[in-house]
Amino acid sequence: MTIGRTRKPLSPTEVAAIEAAMDRHAVTVLPGQDITDKQQLAFSRNFGPLEEGANSGARDSELRLPVVFADVSNLDKEGRIAERNNKKRMAALGNRLWHTDASFRVVPARYSILSGRIVPGEGPDTEFADMRAAYDALDARTKAEIADLVCEHSLIYSRGQLGFTEFLPTERVAMQPVRQRLVRCHPVTGRKSLFLASHIGAIVGWPRPEAMAFIRDLIEHATQPQFVYVHKWTPFDLVIWDNRTTMHRVRRFDDLNIVRDVRRTTTKSDGPTAAQEAA
């Protein structure tokens, strides 16, 4: 597939080519895309409506970028490297856990589109795990056991794993758990995949300790090296991944001394994967 600079509007043929690549590979890298925020937004809207409010752990007054972006840089609102105890930085440490973007929303994410504006040569890498291949490799008994399971997802669960609990009461209301199926079927290819994330804190109908032990086993299975692609960033990479069929995580780097400016836009899936609990 050949895609030029994404500064210009994509043709229908180019949009279809990217979607076909995503359906096949789940992660697509477009190198050399030196684009503006406006151009990234225009590119992203080719693939569905955008998520907003993705900057968990940061008040609106603390945001460096508009709410339609997830600011996954290590910069504060003044454009300086964030201090070690900066709340946004603390919450963002959860990105080092294996996760799926926006699985904690009733309508979860389709594509994440991450633009590498300032990318240090020292890393960090981003790792992607193929949830289709991980599902295929399960034994028949496990596939039968998980076929109809529903999990509860929340940012409170993933951040809580790291000891981050500094949420306001209003934030806790907004972060109430949502339900997602553990097994998904891709709407185009028909392939089944695991829908895993560190945001999972329960399996409906299971005792929590048993549920969390089982989810840990599944994540360990799904992130074995044979299922993982490691992306080593170069300046102005534009990396797209399908949250319906992958998990990912960013690796640790010297974020207290080296600037990393990467900006994510995220499109929504077609709808919920599971019915929600009645209010």
Give ∠ CA 21-241-40 in degrees, rounded to 5: 95
pLDDT tens-digit readout, 97-147 = 999 999 999 999 999 999 999 999 999 999 999 999 999 999 999 999 999
Yes or no: say if 176 and 276 are a contact pair by the CB < 8 Å rule: no
158-168 in b/e form (b: 16+ CB < 10 A) is bbeeeebeebe
Tokens of 124: 């960090």
Q: Among 69, 161, 153, 58, which Cα is nearest to 104's?
A: 153
- Sheet of strand 238-242, all strands in order from the earlier edge strand to the far edge: 27-30, 238-242, 109-118, 261-268, 70-71
Q: Tell me the average pLDDT of the chain.
A: 94
Q: What is the pLDDT of residue 62?
A: 75
- Sheet of strand 246-250, all strands in order from the earlier edge strand to the far edge: 228-231, 126-130, 246-250
Q: Is 226 exposed, middle or buried (0-12, 13-18, 19+ CB in 10 A)?
A: exposed
**pLDDT tens per residue, the chain (279 residues)?**
445 556 789 999 999 999 999 999 999 999 999 999 999 999 999 999 999 865 444 556 678 999 999 999 999 999 999 999 999 999 999 999 999 999 999 999 999 999 999 999 999 999 999 999 999 999 999 999 999 999 999 999 999 999 999 899 999 999 999 999 999 999 999 999 999 999 999 999 999 999 999 999 999 999 999 999 999 999 999 999 999 999 999 999 999 999 999 999 999 999 999 999 864
Contacts of residue 154, defined as CB under 8 A and 6 or more positions apart, other chains included, come to: 104, 175, 176, 177, 178, 199, 201
* Cα dist from 263 to 12, 200, 212, whole Å: 25, 25, 31
Dihedral sign of CA atoms 82, 60, 249, 122 in order: negative
Helix (H) or strand (E) holding 265: strand 261-268
Q: What is the pLDDT of residue 1?
A: 42
Yes or no: say if 69 and 149 are a contact pair by the CB < 8 Å rule: no
Q: What is the pLDDT of residue 126?
A: 98
